[in-house]
Structure 1
Amino acid sequence: MNIEYTKKLHAGSDFPAIKARLLPAIKAKLLNGDIKTLSTPENGLDWKMVVVYRGQHCPLCTRYLNQLEGAKDLLAQTGVDLIAVSGDSKEQLESHMERLGVSFPIAYGLTVEQMEELGLYISEPRSPEETDHPFAEPGLFVVNSEGKVHVADISNNPFVRPELQSLISGLGWIRNPANNYPIRGMHK
Protein backbone atom coordinates (compact mmCIF):
# COMPACT_ATOMS: atom_id res chain seq x y z
CA MET A 1 0.00 0.00 0.00
CA ASN A 2 1.43 3.35 -1.04
CA ILE A 3 0.60 6.12 1.46
CA GLU A 4 1.64 9.62 0.46
CA TYR A 5 1.89 12.83 2.43
CA THR A 6 -1.20 14.99 2.03
CA LYS A 7 -1.12 18.74 2.57
CA LYS A 8 -4.14 19.85 4.59
CA LEU A 9 -5.41 23.35 5.17
CA HIS A 10 -5.01 23.91 8.92
CA ALA A 11 -7.60 25.51 11.16
CA GLY A 12 -6.69 29.11 11.85
CA SER A 13 -4.54 29.43 8.74
CA ASP A 14 -5.20 32.02 6.07
CA PHE A 15 -7.57 30.76 3.40
CA PRO A 16 -5.48 30.73 0.22
CA ALA A 17 -6.26 32.98 -2.73
CA ILE A 18 -7.43 30.50 -5.35
CA LYS A 19 -6.65 31.41 -8.93
CA ALA A 20 -8.84 30.09 -11.73
CA ARG A 21 -7.42 28.03 -14.58
CA LEU A 22 -5.76 30.13 -17.30
CA LEU A 23 -6.63 33.37 -15.53
CA PRO A 24 -3.56 34.24 -13.43
CA ALA A 25 -5.02 37.10 -11.38
CA ILE A 26 -8.53 35.68 -11.02
CA LYS A 27 -9.87 33.75 -8.03
CA ALA A 28 -12.90 31.85 -9.42
CA LYS A 29 -15.19 32.33 -12.39
CA LEU A 30 -18.96 32.02 -12.55
CA LEU A 31 -20.99 31.09 -15.62
CA ASN A 32 -22.02 34.70 -16.17
CA GLY A 33 -18.34 35.70 -16.34
CA ASP A 34 -18.27 37.31 -12.89
CA ILE A 35 -15.05 36.76 -10.99
CA LYS A 36 -15.30 35.91 -7.30
CA THR A 37 -12.74 35.56 -4.57
CA LEU A 38 -13.72 32.34 -2.85
CA SER A 39 -12.98 33.53 0.67
CA THR A 40 -14.37 37.07 0.40
CA PRO A 41 -17.87 37.48 1.82
CA GLU A 42 -20.43 39.55 -0.06
CA ASN A 43 -24.04 40.61 0.39
CA GLY A 44 -23.25 42.60 3.55
CA LEU A 45 -22.07 39.46 5.39
CA ASP A 46 -18.71 39.07 7.10
CA TRP A 47 -17.97 35.29 6.97
CA LYS A 48 -17.85 32.99 3.94
CA MET A 49 -18.67 29.31 3.49
CA VAL A 50 -16.81 27.68 0.60
CA VAL A 51 -18.28 24.34 -0.45
CA VAL A 52 -16.17 22.19 -2.76
CA TYR A 53 -18.20 19.51 -4.53
CA ARG A 54 -17.16 16.64 -6.78
CA GLY A 55 -18.93 17.80 -9.94
CA GLN A 56 -22.00 17.29 -12.06
CA HIS A 57 -21.46 13.52 -12.21
CA CYS A 58 -22.24 13.13 -8.49
CA PRO A 59 -25.93 12.80 -7.54
CA LEU A 60 -25.05 13.24 -3.85
CA CYS A 61 -23.42 16.58 -4.68
CA THR A 62 -26.51 17.67 -6.57
CA ARG A 63 -28.66 16.79 -3.56
CA TYR A 64 -26.29 18.60 -1.14
CA LEU A 65 -26.18 21.73 -3.28
CA ASN A 66 -29.98 21.77 -3.41
CA GLN A 67 -30.08 21.36 0.39
CA LEU A 68 -27.69 24.31 0.68
CA GLU A 69 -30.16 26.40 -1.30
CA GLY A 70 -32.74 25.70 1.39
CA ALA A 71 -30.23 26.65 4.09
CA LYS A 72 -28.71 29.78 2.54
CA ASP A 73 -31.13 32.18 4.25
CA LEU A 74 -30.29 30.69 7.66
CA LEU A 75 -26.60 30.99 6.80
CA ALA A 76 -27.14 34.65 5.87
CA GLN A 77 -28.98 35.27 9.15
CA THR A 78 -25.86 33.91 10.85
CA GLY A 79 -23.71 36.33 8.83
CA VAL A 80 -22.26 33.68 6.51
CA ASP A 81 -22.13 34.13 2.73
CA LEU A 82 -22.04 31.05 0.47
CA ILE A 83 -20.22 29.91 -2.68
CA ALA A 84 -19.67 26.45 -4.19
CA VAL A 85 -16.91 25.37 -6.57
CA SER A 86 -15.78 22.25 -8.45
CA GLY A 87 -13.23 21.18 -11.00
CA ASP A 88 -15.89 20.90 -13.68
CA SER A 89 -15.55 22.80 -16.93
CA LYS A 90 -17.84 25.66 -17.87
CA GLU A 91 -19.81 23.28 -20.11
CA GLN A 92 -20.19 20.72 -17.33
CA LEU A 93 -21.45 23.38 -14.90
CA GLU A 94 -23.90 24.68 -17.52
CA SER A 95 -25.27 21.16 -17.89
CA HIS A 96 -25.41 20.69 -14.11
CA MET A 97 -27.29 23.96 -13.57
CA GLU A 98 -30.19 22.48 -15.54
CA ARG A 99 -30.66 19.96 -12.68
CA LEU A 100 -29.96 22.36 -9.83
CA GLY A 101 -32.40 24.71 -8.19
CA VAL A 102 -29.88 27.08 -6.64
CA SER A 103 -29.43 30.84 -6.61
CA PHE A 104 -26.11 31.12 -4.75
CA PRO A 105 -22.89 31.45 -6.77
CA ILE A 106 -21.26 28.32 -8.17
CA ALA A 107 -17.79 28.57 -9.69
CA TYR A 108 -16.03 26.16 -12.00
CA GLY A 109 -12.53 25.18 -13.10
CA LEU A 110 -10.82 24.34 -9.80
CA THR A 111 -7.46 22.86 -10.79
CA VAL A 112 -5.69 19.88 -9.25
CA GLU A 113 -3.07 22.28 -7.87
CA GLN A 114 -5.79 24.36 -6.20
CA MET A 115 -7.41 21.20 -4.80
CA GLU A 116 -4.04 20.24 -3.34
CA GLU A 117 -3.56 23.73 -1.89
CA LEU A 118 -6.87 23.33 -0.07
CA GLY A 119 -5.80 19.91 1.21
CA LEU A 120 -8.67 18.12 -0.49
CA TYR A 121 -8.74 14.46 -1.38
CA ILE A 122 -8.59 14.05 -5.16
CA SER A 123 -9.99 11.14 -7.15
CA GLU A 124 -9.52 9.84 -10.67
CA PRO A 125 -12.71 9.13 -12.62
CA ARG A 126 -13.73 5.48 -12.70
CA SER A 127 -14.65 5.78 -16.37
CA PRO A 128 -15.00 8.42 -19.09
CA GLU A 129 -18.75 8.30 -18.51
CA GLU A 130 -18.25 9.54 -14.93
CA THR A 131 -16.16 12.59 -15.89
CA ASP A 132 -13.10 13.52 -17.90
CA HIS A 133 -10.79 14.93 -15.22
CA PRO A 134 -9.50 14.33 -11.68
CA PHE A 135 -11.95 15.81 -9.19
CA ALA A 136 -11.98 16.93 -5.58
CA GLU A 137 -13.87 14.96 -3.00
CA PRO A 138 -16.15 17.08 -0.80
CA GLY A 139 -14.74 19.89 1.29
CA LEU A 140 -16.33 22.68 3.29
CA PHE A 141 -14.51 25.68 4.73
CA VAL A 142 -15.94 28.53 6.78
CA VAL A 143 -13.70 31.57 6.58
CA ASN A 144 -14.07 34.21 9.30
CA SER A 145 -13.93 37.99 8.90
CA GLU A 146 -10.14 37.91 9.31
CA GLY A 147 -9.73 35.51 6.34
CA LYS A 148 -8.89 32.60 8.66
CA VAL A 149 -10.24 29.06 8.33
CA HIS A 150 -12.59 28.84 11.31
CA VAL A 151 -14.29 25.57 10.33
CA ALA A 152 -12.92 22.90 8.00
CA ASP A 153 -14.45 19.63 6.89
CA ILE A 154 -12.91 17.40 4.23
CA SER A 155 -13.90 13.92 3.16
CA ASN A 156 -12.44 11.25 0.93
CA ASN A 157 -15.84 10.17 -0.38
CA PRO A 158 -19.25 11.68 -1.21
CA PHE A 159 -21.10 9.98 1.64
CA VAL A 160 -19.67 12.11 4.46
CA ARG A 161 -20.69 15.78 4.63
CA PRO A 162 -21.70 18.14 7.43
CA GLU A 163 -25.37 18.01 8.35
CA LEU A 164 -26.52 21.53 7.53
CA GLN A 165 -28.87 22.26 10.45
CA SER A 166 -26.22 21.25 12.99
CA LEU A 167 -23.56 23.21 11.13
CA ILE A 168 -25.64 26.37 10.96
CA SER A 169 -26.65 26.06 14.61
CA GLY A 170 -22.99 25.59 15.53
CA LEU A 171 -21.94 28.61 13.46
CA GLY A 172 -24.53 30.71 15.27
CA TRP A 173 -23.10 29.57 18.60
CA ILE A 174 -19.51 30.22 17.47
CA ARG A 175 -20.43 33.69 16.22
CA ASN A 176 -22.19 34.71 19.44
CA PRO A 177 -19.68 37.02 21.20
CA ALA A 178 -20.97 35.88 24.61
CA ASN A 179 -19.55 32.40 23.91
CA ASN A 180 -16.04 33.65 23.11
CA TYR A 181 -15.47 30.46 21.08
CA PRO A 182 -11.99 30.24 19.51
CA ILE A 183 -10.87 28.46 16.35
CA ARG A 184 -10.55 24.79 17.32
CA GLY A 185 -7.91 22.26 16.24
CA MET A 186 -4.89 24.56 16.34
CA HIS A 187 -2.65 22.46 18.63
CA LYS A 188 0.65 21.97 16.81
Structure 2
Amino acid sequence: MLIPRQAVPALAVPTLDHGDYVLQDESPAQFSLVVFYRGYHCPVCAKYLMELGRLLPEFDARGVSVVAISSDAAPRARKMADKIGMPALRMGYGLPLEAARRWGLYVTEGHGKTSIGIDEPPMFSEPGVFLVRPDHTLYYGAVQTMPFARPQFAELLTSVDFAITRNYPARGEYTGPVSAAAQPEMAA
Protein backbone atom coordinates (compact mmCIF):
# COMPACT_ATOMS: atom_id res chain seq x y z
CA MET A 1 0.00 0.00 0.00
CA LEU A 2 1.27 3.47 -0.85
CA ILE A 3 1.38 5.86 2.08
CA PRO A 4 0.83 9.62 1.73
CA ARG A 5 3.92 11.74 2.47
CA GLN A 6 6.17 8.79 1.64
CA ALA A 7 8.08 8.19 -1.59
CA VAL A 8 6.19 6.55 -4.41
CA PRO A 9 7.73 3.65 -6.37
CA ALA A 10 9.98 4.38 -9.30
CA LEU A 11 8.07 4.75 -12.54
CA ALA A 12 9.53 4.78 -16.04
CA VAL A 13 7.72 3.99 -19.29
CA PRO A 14 8.06 5.00 -22.91
CA THR A 15 5.44 7.37 -24.31
CA LEU A 16 4.10 7.49 -27.83
CA ASP A 17 5.18 10.99 -28.81
CA HIS A 18 6.89 12.62 -25.85
CA GLY A 19 10.00 10.53 -25.16
CA ASP A 20 10.44 8.41 -22.07
CA TYR A 21 8.44 9.27 -18.98
CA VAL A 22 10.47 8.98 -15.78
CA LEU A 23 8.52 10.18 -12.76
CA GLN A 24 11.64 10.72 -10.70
CA ASP A 25 12.90 13.17 -13.37
CA GLU A 26 9.69 15.24 -13.26
CA SER A 27 9.87 18.59 -11.47
CA PRO A 28 6.44 20.20 -11.70
CA ALA A 29 5.66 23.34 -9.73
CA GLN A 30 2.92 21.57 -7.74
CA PHE A 31 2.17 17.94 -8.62
CA SER A 32 2.61 15.13 -11.12
CA LEU A 33 -0.77 13.66 -12.04
CA VAL A 34 -0.28 9.99 -12.93
CA VAL A 35 -3.35 8.38 -14.46
CA PHE A 36 -3.24 4.64 -14.97
CA TYR A 37 -5.88 3.40 -17.41
CA ARG A 38 -6.97 -0.09 -18.42
CA GLY A 39 -6.08 0.04 -22.11
CA TYR A 40 -7.38 0.34 -25.64
CA HIS A 41 -10.13 -2.21 -25.04
CA CYS A 42 -11.87 0.01 -22.46
CA PRO A 43 -14.55 2.41 -23.77
CA VAL A 44 -14.81 4.10 -20.35
CA CYS A 45 -11.07 4.82 -20.50
CA ALA A 46 -11.42 6.53 -23.88
CA LYS A 47 -14.03 8.95 -22.53
CA TYR A 48 -11.99 9.47 -19.36
CA LEU A 49 -8.81 10.26 -21.29
CA MET A 50 -10.66 12.64 -23.62
CA GLU A 51 -11.81 14.58 -20.55
CA LEU A 52 -8.26 14.58 -19.19
CA GLY A 53 -6.93 15.83 -22.53
CA ARG A 54 -9.56 18.57 -22.64
CA LEU A 55 -8.52 19.77 -19.17
CA LEU A 56 -4.78 19.46 -19.80
CA PRO A 57 -4.29 23.26 -20.16
CA GLU A 58 -6.02 23.76 -16.79
CA PHE A 59 -3.69 21.30 -15.07
CA ASP A 60 -0.69 22.88 -16.78
CA ALA A 61 -1.77 26.36 -15.61
CA ARG A 62 -1.75 25.04 -12.03
CA GLY A 63 1.73 23.56 -12.26
CA VAL A 64 0.56 19.96 -12.62
CA SER A 65 2.36 17.70 -15.10
CA VAL A 66 0.16 14.93 -16.52
CA VAL A 67 0.71 11.46 -17.92
CA ALA A 68 -1.69 8.62 -18.79
CA ILE A 69 -0.23 5.11 -18.66
CA SER A 70 -1.41 1.61 -19.52
CA SER A 71 0.11 -1.83 -19.74
CA ASP A 72 -0.80 -1.95 -23.46
CA ALA A 73 1.97 -2.51 -25.99
CA ALA A 74 2.78 0.40 -28.32
CA PRO A 75 0.38 -0.58 -31.17
CA ARG A 76 -2.66 -0.70 -28.86
CA ALA A 77 -1.57 2.49 -27.08
CA ARG A 78 -1.34 4.19 -30.50
CA LYS A 79 -4.88 3.06 -31.34
CA MET A 80 -6.12 4.59 -28.09
CA ALA A 81 -4.25 7.83 -28.76
CA ASP A 82 -5.72 8.00 -32.27
CA LYS A 83 -9.19 7.27 -30.90
CA ILE A 84 -9.14 10.05 -28.31
CA GLY A 85 -7.36 12.63 -30.50
CA MET A 86 -5.49 14.44 -27.72
CA PRO A 87 -1.90 14.76 -29.05
CA ALA A 88 -0.72 16.96 -26.16
CA LEU A 89 -1.54 14.23 -23.62
CA ARG A 90 1.51 12.14 -22.78
CA MET A 91 0.49 8.53 -23.33
CA GLY A 92 2.74 6.02 -21.63
CA TYR A 93 2.61 2.36 -22.51
CA GLY A 94 4.16 -0.96 -21.59
CA LEU A 95 3.64 -0.63 -17.83
CA PRO A 96 4.95 -3.87 -16.34
CA LEU A 97 2.29 -5.52 -14.21
CA GLU A 98 4.85 -5.85 -11.40
CA ALA A 99 5.15 -2.04 -11.43
CA ALA A 100 1.35 -1.75 -11.44
CA ARG A 101 1.23 -3.88 -8.32
CA ARG A 102 3.89 -1.74 -6.62
CA TRP A 103 1.55 1.23 -7.21
CA GLY A 104 -1.30 -0.70 -5.58
CA LEU A 105 -3.21 -1.24 -8.80
CA TYR A 106 -5.44 -4.25 -9.22
CA VAL A 107 -4.64 -6.69 -12.02
CA THR A 108 -7.31 -8.41 -14.11
CA GLU A 109 -7.20 -11.42 -16.40
CA GLY A 110 -8.76 -10.74 -19.79
CA HIS A 111 -12.25 -12.10 -20.49
CA GLY A 112 -12.46 -11.94 -24.28
CA LYS A 113 -14.16 -9.17 -26.22
CA THR A 114 -15.47 -6.02 -24.60
CA SER A 115 -18.81 -4.33 -25.26
CA ILE A 116 -17.19 -2.52 -28.20
CA GLY A 117 -15.81 -5.73 -29.72
CA ILE A 118 -12.13 -5.30 -28.82
CA ASP A 119 -10.25 -8.18 -27.24
CA GLU A 120 -8.98 -7.60 -23.74
CA PRO A 121 -5.29 -8.41 -23.29
CA PRO A 122 -4.48 -11.56 -21.31
CA MET A 123 -3.75 -9.40 -18.22
CA PHE A 124 -3.95 -5.67 -17.55
CA SER A 125 -4.07 -3.23 -14.66
CA GLU A 126 -7.20 -1.53 -13.43
CA PRO A 127 -7.45 2.28 -13.07
CA GLY A 128 -5.59 4.45 -10.60
CA VAL A 129 -5.14 8.21 -10.20
CA PHE A 130 -2.29 9.71 -8.18
CA LEU A 131 -1.05 13.18 -7.34
CA VAL A 132 2.65 13.12 -6.51
CA ARG A 133 4.51 16.05 -4.96
CA PRO A 134 7.68 17.37 -6.64
CA ASP A 135 9.70 15.55 -3.95
CA HIS A 136 8.12 12.30 -5.28
CA THR A 137 5.99 11.63 -2.24
CA LEU A 138 2.36 10.63 -2.49
CA TYR A 139 -0.20 13.38 -1.98
CA TYR A 140 -3.39 11.71 -3.25
CA GLY A 141 -4.26 8.28 -4.54
CA ALA A 142 -7.36 6.45 -5.75
CA VAL A 143 -7.52 2.95 -7.20
CA GLN A 144 -10.46 1.03 -8.63
CA THR A 145 -11.27 -2.62 -9.16
CA MET A 146 -13.66 -1.69 -11.98
CA PRO A 147 -13.60 0.68 -14.95
CA PHE A 148 -16.35 2.90 -13.54
CA ALA A 149 -16.74 5.35 -10.63
CA ARG A 150 -13.38 7.07 -11.11
CA PRO A 151 -12.32 10.44 -9.73
CA GLN A 152 -13.54 13.20 -12.04
CA PHE A 153 -10.84 15.49 -13.41
CA ALA A 154 -12.89 18.70 -13.09
CA GLU A 155 -13.39 17.93 -9.40
CA LEU A 156 -9.71 17.07 -9.06
CA LEU A 157 -8.83 20.51 -10.47
CA THR A 158 -10.94 22.15 -7.77
CA SER A 159 -9.20 20.00 -5.17
CA VAL A 160 -5.78 20.96 -6.53
CA ASP A 161 -6.75 24.63 -6.23
CA PHE A 162 -7.81 24.05 -2.62
CA ALA A 163 -4.63 22.12 -1.80
CA ILE A 164 -2.41 24.83 -3.29
CA THR A 165 -4.16 27.87 -1.79
CA ARG A 166 -4.58 26.31 1.66
CA ASN A 167 -1.28 24.42 1.69
CA TYR A 168 -3.49 21.46 2.62
CA PRO A 169 -1.46 18.49 3.90
CA ALA A 170 -1.68 14.99 2.51
CA ARG A 171 -3.97 12.79 4.58
CA GLY A 172 -3.96 9.11 5.48
CA GLU A 173 -0.27 8.88 6.41
CA TYR A 174 -0.71 7.33 9.86
CA THR A 175 0.55 3.75 9.95
CA GLY A 176 0.86 3.15 13.71
CA PRO A 177 -1.39 1.05 15.91
CA VAL A 178 -5.05 1.92 16.14
CA SER A 179 -6.41 1.34 19.59
CA ALA A 180 -10.02 1.41 20.74
CA ALA A 181 -9.18 4.52 22.78
CA ALA A 182 -8.30 6.39 19.59
CA GLN A 183 -11.65 5.58 17.96
CA PRO A 184 -14.37 8.22 18.01
CA GLU A 185 -17.15 7.46 20.45
CA MET A 186 -20.30 6.14 18.88
CA ALA A 187 -23.58 7.72 19.84
CA ALA A 188 -25.81 5.35 21.74
Compute the TM-score of the two structures, normalised by the length of structure 2. 0.84
Per the alignment, residue 137 of structure 1 pairs with 126
Aligned length, in residue pairs: 170
Q: 1:103-114 to 2 correspondence within 5 Å?
A: 103-114=88-99
The answer to whether the 8 A contact 1:89-1:109 is kept is yes
The answer to whether the 8 A contact 1:84-1:105 is kept is yes
AA partner of residue 169 (structure 2): P
Deviation, 1:160, is 1.6
Deviation, 1:33, is 7.3
Q: Does 1:123 align with 2:108?
A: yes
Deviation, 1:164, is 1.4
The change in CA–CA distance for 1:55 and 1:39 in structure 2 (over 3 A counts) is: farther
Per the alignment, residue 16 of structure 1 pairs with 9
Per the alignment, residue 186 of structure 1 pairs with 173
Per the alignment, residue 89 of structure 1 pairs with 73
- Structure 2 gaps, min length 5: 176-188
More displaced 10-residue stretch of structure 1: 110-119 or 30-39: 30-39
The answer to whether the 8 A contact 1:93-1:108 is kept is yes
Alpha-carbon distance between aligned partners in 2 of 1:10 and 1:53, rounded to the nearest angstrom: 21
- Structure 1 gaps, min length 5: 1-7, 19-26
Q: 1:41-80 to 2 correspondence within 5 Å?
A: 41=26, 45-80=29-64
Deviation, 1:68, is 0.3
Question: Residue deviations 1:124-170, cap 9 Å, x none?
Answer: 11116522231111100111121111010111101121111211111
The answer to whether the 8 A contact 1:11-1:183 is kept is yes
Per the alignment, residue 153 of structure 2 pairs with 164
Output the aligned Cα RMSD.
1.7
AA partner of residue 133 (structure 2): N
The change in CA–CA distance for 1:180 and 1:57 in structure 2 (over 3 A counts) is: same
Structure with bigger gyration radius: 2
The change in CA–CA distance for 1:97 and 1:180 in structure 2 (over 3 A counts) is: closer
Deviation, 1:40, is 4.2
Displacement over 4 Å in runs of 4+: none
The change in CA–CA distance for 1:37 and 1:64 in structure 2 (over 3 A counts) is: same
Compute the TM-score of the two structures, normalised by the length of structure 1. 0.84
Relative to its length, the structure with more helix (as a share) is: 2
